[in-house]
Amino acid sequence: MRDYEVVYIFKSSLTTEEIEGRLEGHHAKILSASGSEITAVEHWGKRQLAYPIDRNDNGYYVVTQFTASPAVLPDFERALKLDDDLLRHLVVLSEGELPMPALDDRGDDDRNGDRIRRKVDAAAAPDAAAAAGAPADEGDDAADEGDDTTDDAAADDAATGGDESDEDDADDVDAEREN
């Protein structure tokens, strides 16, 4: 006896009663051998397919784990191939519980999302970025293209305590662009 796992993708137009009926028929093929048993059935529900299959954009996913002898598989897979309402199926050896996808918690700095988020945070609060270990934006990045006027205007505002009016800030920015 070996542990197996099968993933079914049924047409999304089927009702849950029709899907249950088809599952019972397919599982009867598995249970026909002595000692075989269905250990888990998980309905993942309707999901969008990565590409259309027989003009279907969505499918109803079901994952079943079972224990059976390898001699049962040829008849079982033949029955699956003959089911017209089954878009795809895959039978594999089971390696235990279904793994859950891990969140992407890498610390790579070369991902655009992190770099942009860190840059925005650093420009908004240089002390918070320094405390978090992120380098403060010094205007050396290629993404800035040498235009540091907005960073300098924010620095001027911070240095003067924000006393300058908006018109003075605009004049500073215009004067700096001319240089």
The pLDDT of residue 41: 93
Strand arrangement, sheet containing 86-93: 37-53, 56-68, 2-11, 86-93
Extract the tokens encoding 50: 């990565």
Q: DSSP string of 68-117?
A: E-GGGHHHHHHHHHH-TTEEEEEEEE--SSPPPPPP-----S-SHHHHHH
Q: What is the pLDDT of residue 152?
A: 54
Round the average pLDDT of the chain to a whole number and report it.
Answer: 73
End-to-end C-alpha distance for the chain, whole angstroms: 80
Give residue-wise pLDDT tens across range 28-73.
999 988 889 999 999 999 999 999 999 999 999 999 999 999 999 9
- CATH for 25: 3.30.70.60
Q: Who contacts 156 (Cβ-Cβ below 8 Å, separation ≥6)?
A: 164, 169, 172
Same-domain check for residues 18 and 88? yes
How many structural domains comprise the chain? 3
Please indicate, yes or no, whether residues 113 and 80 belong to a single structural domain of this protein: no
Nearest to 20 by CA among 48, 39, 4, 41: 41
* Share of residues in the chain with pLDDT > 70 (%): 54
Residue-number span of the structural domain to which 125 is assigned: 109-145
pTM above the 0.75 mark? no
Low-confidence winner among 2-6, 120-124, 137-141, 146-150 (lowest mean pLDDT): 120-124
Q: Provide the token pair at 164.
A: 């300058």
3-class SS at 147? Answer: coil
Tell me whether residue 99 is in a domain: no
Out of 27, 60, 93, pick the residue that ends a domain.
93
